[in-house]
Amino acid sequence: MQRSVTLALCATMLAASAVTGCATAHPSPPGLHYLGQRQIPGGATLDGTVIGGLSGISYDAQRDMYFVVSDDRSAKNPARFYEARIRLGDNGINAIDVVATRPWLEADGRPFPPLDTAVRPPVVPPDPEGIALDPDRRRLYWSSEGERLTDGPSGPVLLDPFIRIADFEGRYLGEFTLPPALQMSAADTGPRRNDVLEGLTVTPGGRWVWAAMEGPLLQDGPPPSDTAGALTRITRFDPDTETADAQFAYPLDAVSAGPGGDNGVSDLVALDDSTFLVVERGYAGRNSVRVYRAEVADADDVLAVPALGGRQVRPMTKTLLADLATTPGVTPLDNVEGITLGPTLPDGRRTVVLISDDNFSPTQITQVLAFAM
């Protein structure tokens, strides 16, 4: 029997003001209503693994369970995902129970080994970031950012990003074919390191899988700055053919967290075949987290466009639903990376669940936040 890590409900509203991880409901900007948050204790373990680095989340309504991916690159434990029960109510999160963990497996059935660039060929584990349940096909999709080290002592170390298919035990079932522009290169083209496949979602009904790049490709222009935003790419895949069939430019905000910071897409969740909730997350001395409603609408298909830099394209449209840094009650606010739709509340509103990545740092937290939409 697998052990679990459980967080109990705070006893009273008075206690909630003094206990880490509890928060009461507060009004927030139109579109999303903040319900509350809880924390998974730092250093918590399950079946010998450290629960941390949680960068993506996906809800299984059939089992009332959440799949959560860790971005541990097999450094602390083999690359893996978790299953968790998150008990939601009108007043927030009643409890979090992490009930299972499983390693992602290679095609040969082995877990991924840790990074070793001293050997040839180098051993480069994945950098897991996104996870999405396909409820109809009963399988998981998960994404890795790959690796791009161009100045190593023994030459470049390159590992293409990927989107793989797995069963609920983490076993390899297949892999999507990525557009050439998303593949790693030692030249000044392709993805920037750590700015790759960050968000992953399946549309209701399972017609499409969408994958979001965190930031612009090298040939698409510079990343967001204090004074200017940027265009990144969101790609539509057909899960039956496992290939991309369309791609659209998504307009990133300029950096808002402070001078010298960053901003990028950390995750998205589909509301229908072409509408999403998108999380833009940045950091510069403080965390910036904004949730947008984004639509393909009349955006240009840029799948066949090799470079967006210097080119006029019509991007997706977006509307701000919540700026978590200014939403009353969202304190503390850490490195929010994952988003999913949760169950429907008795009043008919749909819950939206977000999760943060603590980077396995003792100065950061793993928090789960609940909103109603």
ω before 251 within 30° of 0 (cis)? no
Q: Is the pLDDT of residue 368 over 50?
A: yes
Q: Calculate the average pLDDT of the chain.
A: 92
**121: how many CB neighbours lie within 10 A of its CB?**
7
Tell me, what DSSP letter sits at residue 217? -
* CA-wise closest residue to 94 among 51, 64, 61: 64
| Predicted local distance difference test score (pLDDT) of residue 118 | 86
**164: how many CB neighbours lie within 10 A of its CB?**
20
Residue 343 tokens, joined? 């169950």
Contacts of residue 115, defined as CB under 8 A and 6 or more positions apart, other chains included, come to 73, 74, 75, 122, 123, 124, 125
Separation of alpha carbons 199 and 234, rounded Å = 9
**Tens digits of residue pLDDT in 152-204:** 777 788 999 999 999 999 999 999 999 999 999 999 999 999 999 999 999 99
**Tens digits of residue pLDDT in 323-342:** 999 999 999 999 999 999 99
Q: Is the pLDDT of residue 306 over 70?
A: yes
| Predicted local distance difference test score (pLDDT) of residue 30 | 52
Separation of alpha carbons 354 and 370, rounded Å = 7
Distances (CA, A) of 369 to 86, 97, 101, 268, 340: 10, 15, 21, 15, 11
Residues of the chain with pLDDT > 70: what percent? 92
**Tens digits of residue pLDDT in 341-365:** 999 999 999 999 999 999 999 999 9
| Predicted local distance difference test score (pLDDT) of residue 21 | 36
pLDDT confidence band for 124 (50 / 70 / 90): very high
Residue 153 tokens, joined? 């002592």
Separation of alpha carbons 29 and 329, rounded Å = 12
| Predicted local distance difference test score (pLDDT) of residue 49 | 99
Q: Report the amino acid identity of residue 325.
A: A
Residue 4 tokens, joined? 């679990």
316, 248 Cβ separation under 8 angstroms: yes
**Tens digits of residue pLDDT in 199-236:** 999 999 999 999 999 999 999 999 999 999 999 999 99
**Tens digits of residue pLDDT in 248-301:** 999 999 999 889 899 999 999 999 999 999 999 999 989 999 999 999 999 999
What is the model's pTM?
0.92
Domain regions of the chain by residue span = 5-372
Tell me, what DSSP letter sits at residue 123? B
43: burial class by Cβ within 10 Å (0-12, 13-18, 19+)? exposed
For residues 40-48, give the mean pLDDT. 97
179, 303 Cβ separation under 8 angstroms: yes
What CATH number belongs to 5-372?
A: 2.115.10
Round the CA-based radius of gyration of the chain to a whole number and report it: 20
* CA-wise closest residue to 82 among 104, 111, 61: 104
For residues 136-151, give the mean pLDDT. 95
| Predicted local distance difference test score (pLDDT) of residue 198 | 98
Lowest mean pLDDT among 54-58, 125-129, 308-312: 308-312
| Predicted local distance difference test score (pLDDT) of residue 31 | 86
